[in-house]
Structure 1
Amino acid sequence: MVKQLWRRFRISCFIMKMLLFVSLCISALIVSSTAFAGSSKPCCMKFSSGILSKKLIARYYNESNPLCPLHAVVFVTLKNRTFCFDPKQGWVQNIIKHLNEKEKLHITTQNSASMSTEKETLHMTTQNSASMSTEKKQSYSFSSSQRSSIM
């Protein structure tokens, strides 16, 4: 009788431990999924090895999620692949500088193009208004000569 009670007690304890373990796993899963719900970018778990060529990199961003284990620079290639690198490495800083200068040049070129388009539009408007005033003068003078011939 005591053996049967002891056996039931052990089975009950095992079941309770399993239920506790499963509930802890589920709650950990819920907590981790809600912590990363606002972040669309995955965390860098380790730094990539090797060096990427400047020609392959389309853009970069800094890993800024405080829940991520590493502070990393993430390079995104032209084929939309991501690589995590240590921001303290010299070649990483050189590529960041290169990409920032390239972006500044792109913005400057866009601004220059829009300014030259505005200048061309203004020049064309000025030319059109000048030609219109010349046409008015010509039509007025034509009308004057016509009047004098009638009189």
Structure 2
Amino acid sequence: MKFQILFFLLLLTCMYPSVAQGSYENCCLNYAKVKKSIRRHIVSYRMQETDGGCNIPAVVFKLKKSKTICVDPRLSWVQQVVQKMKE
């Protein structure tokens, strides 16, 4: 009986780190270098803030073919696109 409890506790201890590591955030790690002409393919966007596991601010654009790109929010054309999509 004691062996079963000890084995169970050992099993839980081994499983805990793998469960904790499985929760990755969907973060941009760097900016894509894209041309302004990409604008016509943008479907939606989301803002990435520098909190949690994300270490750079970014605008994440979702494109027509379910692709995503991360761009620098300080770029003027990016700000224009975001402003247009808010309207």
Normalised TM-score (structure 1): 0.41
| Pairing partner for 1:96 from 75, 82, 85 | 82
Structure 1: segments with no counterpart, 5+ residues: 1-26, 102-151
- 1:57 is aligned to 2:57: no
2:12 aligned partner: none
Larger Rg belongs to: 1
1:66 and 2:52 correspond? yes
Inter-partner Cα distance in structure 1 for 2:59 and 2:75: 10
Q: Kindly state the Cα deviation for residue 45 of structure 1 after the two structures are TM-superposed.
A: 0.9
Structure showing greater relative contact order (alpha-carbon pairs closer than 8 Å, 6 or more residues apart): 2
Give the 5 Å matches for 1:34-45: 34=23, 36=24, 39=25, 42-45=26-29
- Computed over aligned residues only, the root mean square deviation of the Cα atoms, in angstroms, reads 2.1
TM-score of the pair, normalised by structure 2: 0.66
SS of structure 2 residue aligned to 1:58: strand
| 1:32 alignment counterpart | 21
Residue 30 of structure 1: how far off its partner (Å): 4.7
Q: Which runs of 5+ in 2 are unaligned?
A: 1-16
Aligned to 2:30: 46
Q: Distance in 1 between matches of 2:52 and 2:73?
A: 16
Identical amino acids, percent of aligned pairs: 26
Letter in 2 for 1:80: S
More strand by share: 2
Taking the aligned partners of 1:61 and 1:49, their CA distance within structure 2 comes to: 18
Equivalent runs, 1:1-151 vs 2, <5 Å: 27=17, 30-34=19-23, 36=24, 39=25, 42-52=26-36, 53-64=38-49, 66-101=52-87
List per-residue Cα deviations over 1:11-56 (Å, max 9, x = no partner).
Answer: xxxxxxxxxxxxxxxx4x554323x3xx5xx210110012243211
- Structure-1 separation of matches of 2:53 and 2:86: 27
